[in-house]
Amino acid sequence: MLVTERKPVDEIVGFLDGEKRVFLLGCDGCAAASGTGGEPELAALEAELAAAGVEVVGRKVVDFLCQKALIRAAVRPLAERLRSVDSVVVSTCGIGIQAAATVLDVAVHPACNTLSLGGIRGEWQGEERCLECGQCFLDATAGICPLTACAKQLVNGPCGGAKDGSCEVEPEVRRCAWDVIYERLERQGRVDLLRREGVFQKDYAKMRPPTELRGTRRWAIDLREEKGGEE
């Protein structure tokens, strides 16, 4: 299970940068269990955004947002409404946000930070990966995570070694992540995001899951064993 926390609404509104009409997507899997992506949490987020002057034209909770086939099936009846919005705010883990961004190919904003695997990998297997960095910045990278898509985990742009769009580390199998990011941002008319100050200042301390999260699952069992079975 991927453990997530909701970002403060001010941060989410900051992503919108003048966009006024949004659609909300949630996830009934890990995010609902984390208290971030279920129907009650989307309703609360809608109220917070409305108070900030953002019009939410609809919301939908998908069973597992990490599964692109489920996203396609869920949004098919919503196509007209989705065409009328400026962007989609996604309240789930980094994998679900990436999957939604790929399927929808519109401006997608993360409403959550992914904190931890919670001790066990439970998401639907796809090509998207999340390093649970605790500071999701997929907003500025068109929903593609450089921490997992770039062979060198570069968060400030490409290394300069790419040839014809292929990654210098694995040219046969991997496209340069930053090439893909630029291409998608350009298609969406959002390349300016790469110039936004402060976006790529990562706090690596946040990559270590908070103690209370580690203490509630398998790490807790390990720790107890190390202490000879004492609580």
**Which residues bind to ligand SF4, rule: CB under 6 A?**
94, 113-114, 130-133, 136-138, 145, 147, 150-152, 154, 158-159, 161-162, 167-169, 176-178
- In the complex, minimum distance from the CB of residue 147 to ligand SF4, in angstroms, rounded to a whole number: 4
Q: Which is nearer to ligand SF4, 41 or 128 (CB)?
A: 128
Helices (H), the chain: 9-16, 30-34, 39-51, 68-75, 79-83, 94-104, 146-149, 177-187, 211-214, 218-226
Contact 111, 91 (CB under 8 A): yes
- In the complex, minimum distance from the CB of residue 205 to ligand SF4, in angstroms, rounded to a whole number: 13
Q: Which is nearer to ligand SF4, 15 or 137 (CB)?
A: 137
> If we measure between CA atoms, which residue out of 138, 141, 137, 145 comes closest to residue 191?
141
Q: Which is nearer to ligand SF4, 58 or 200 (CB)?
A: 200
- In the complex, minimum distance from the CB of residue 184 to ligand SF4, in angstroms, rounded to a whole number: 14
Instruction: Write out the two tokens for 75.
Output: 């949004």
Q: Which is nearer to ligand SF4, 13 or 177 (CB)?
A: 177
- In the complex, minimum distance from the CB of residue 12 to ligand SF4, in angstroms, rounded to a whole number: 14
- In the complex, minimum distance from the CB of residue 135 to ligand SF4, in angstroms, rounded to a whole number: 6
Contact 6, 37 (CB under 8 A): no
- In the complex, minimum distance from the CB of residue 137 to ligand SF4, in angstroms, rounded to a whole number: 5
- Bridge partners of residue 3, in order along the sequence: 116
Q: Give dist(CA 142, CA 139) in Å, integer.
A: 6
Q: Give dist(CA 165, CA 69) in Å, integer.
A: 27
Q: Which is nearer to ligand SF4, 50 or 131 (CB)?
A: 131
Angle (CA) 95-72-101 rounded to 5° is: 40
- In the complex, minimum distance from the CB of residue 195 to ligand SF4, in angstroms, rounded to a whole number: 18
Q: Which is nearer to ligand SF4, 42 or 133 (CB)?
A: 133
Q: Which is nearer to ligand SF4, 81 or 202 (CB)?
A: 202
In the bound state, the residue with its beta carbon closest to ligand SF4 is 94
- SS3 readout for 56-115: EEEEEEECCCCCHHHHHHHHHHHHHHHHCCCEEEEECCHHHHHHHHHHHCCCEEECEEEE
